Every structure is written in structure tokens, then in C-alpha cells.
Structure 1
Amino acid sequence: MSKKQISLLFTLLLAFLYIFFENDLTLNQQEQSVKKNEKYYQSKMCQELGGKMEYILTDKTRVDCLTNEYAIEVDFAQKWAEAIGQSLYYAHMTGKRPAIGFIVGDGDERYIKRVRTVADKFDIKIILLQK
């Protein structure tokens, strides 16, 4: 192979690597900047806990994540009251303990305080999921 051919191959390889890694970086930046929906956090948490997602009850309602120990409702902090009710209902229907996967970010301290007040009284496990 001539020096020109080697030089050309090397240049093409560098160009490919630059394009590949720049696109990968751009995708990672886009993924981080996109608002994630409830299902994203539900899936990530449930997988880490080894649970079953979207467990269907006899009345056709769905537990966001069912583990060996917990029936977990996943919700954003602003829906704290709804999350409490659903977690208690799912626990009752499954015979598991109630839990909430609570999606929180900056400024959600008041919701965390509210949900913890009730969770302490009714023995609901709170799993904080950071935005």
C-alpha cells in the first residue's frame, strides 16, 4: 500500500470516528434534555427492583410495578395525593405492602413533606426517583 493510500485510509478513519462520537454525544445530550415521562421512571425503577410492570388486577386496573413485597404506584410529586390512594388500593388488592415511586425534582420539597406525613401514618414505602 502506498503512503497516499495509507494517509487516505487514516483520514477516513478519523473522519468516521469524529462523526460517530459526535453523533453519540449529540444523542446523549438530547436524551438528557428531553423531559422524561412517568413510564421512563417506572420502567427504570421496576427493572432495578426486579418487579413486574403494569400488573393487571381483576378489576382491570394496573399496578405500575409489582414486586415480591410491594405494590408500587409511580407518579410525579404534584400527584402526591393520587399516588397515596392508588398505592393503598393496589396493596389491598394484591396482598402486598404499599409503595410509591415518587418522581421529584427541584422545588418539590413541599410534596415530599406531604406524602411522607401520610406515608408514615399508613406505612407506605416511599422510593424517591430524581428527575
Structure 2
Amino acid sequence: MKKQFSFFLTLIAVALYFLFEGDLSLKKEEDGAKRDEKYYQTKMCGEFGGKMEYVLFDKARVDCLTDEYAIEVDFAKKWAEGIGQSLYYAEITRKKPAIGVIVGEGDEKYLSRIKTVADKYDIKIILLDK
């Protein structure tokens, strides 16, 4: 239990580092349009029939809450933040954790990192192509 708690705190620290590293919310697409996380969140949550921006008791917002999953949507580079948020949201909502990972060219190293942790903690990975 102590080891898992320590690991979880490390994940939160890494997530905070990436959170303040820079604004990764907008990416250019092939058609020249910019897509932010909200675009992918809306598209994915609609397909899953979930509730967007589900507000928790502490005012935190789950990107998409379904009958089975609490889903955090993030760009692949923000992998650690997504893991921490998905685990927290799942714990509070009593759902399974999931991450909607927005991936594009060159994101393989981030997917490898996500998969390593997701396999251990049973976090569902949903790939969202840029």
C-alpha cells in the first residue's frame, strides 16, 4: 500500500511538471485548422454516450463520464497528467479509469509510457487520432 501511494505521488509530481511546462492545448492539423482538447473530448464523449465535464464534489471536472469509465482526454505529451487525473476521477466516481490519448506522428514514446502504467493499474487507453 505504501509503495502504491508513493508511486501515485510521483505520478502527480510528474503530471504537475508537464502541466506547467507549456501550453499544449492547440495543435495544427493537416487542413490547417487548430484542434484543442475540447474538440477531441466532445467527439469522443458523444461516441461513448457519456456526460461531458462531469463536476465532482471538489469542483474537479471529469472530461467524460460513462456508465463504466471516468475518462480524461489529453495530448500524448501530457501522458503523466492524464494518468493521474484518470486514477483520481475513477476513485471518486467509483468508475474504471480511462485516458483518451490524442496521438499524432512522433508520439510513440509517450504511448509506450502510458501503456507501461496503464497495464499495471488497469487503465483503459482510447486512442484519438489527430
**What residue is the counterpart of 1:11 in the other structure?**
none
Q: Distance in 2 between matches of 1:99 and 1:91?
A: 8
Give the distance between the partners of 1:99 and 1:109, measured in 2 at CA: 18
Match of 1:40 in 2: 39
- Structure showing greater radius of gyration is 1
Paired positions, count: 102
Residue 117 (structure 2) aligns with: 118
- Residue in 2 that maps onto 1:94: 93
The separation in 1 between residues aligned to 2:55 and 2:41, in whole angstroms, is: 15
**Greater strand proportion:** 2
Runs of 4+ off more than 3 Å? none
Which residue type is aligned with residue 56 of structure 1? Answer: V
Q: Which has the higher contact order (CA 8 A, sep 6+)?
A: 2
Secondary structure of the residue aligned to 1:43 is helix
Give the C-alpha shift of residue 32 in structure 1.
3.2
Q: Which has the higher helix share?
A: 1
* Paired position in structure 2 for 1:73: 72
Q: 1:105 matched to which residue of 2?
A: 104
Unaligned 5+ segments in structure 1 are: 1-29
TM-score by length of 1: 0.76
In the aligned structure 1, how far is the partner of 2:77 from the partner of 2:99?
A: 13
Shift of 1:31: 9.2
Work out the percentage of aligned pairs sharing the same amino acid.
Answer: 73
Residues 117 and 44 (structure 1 numbering): CA distance in 2 closer, same or farther, change over 3 Å? Answer: same
Letter of the aligned partner of 2:65 in structure 1? L
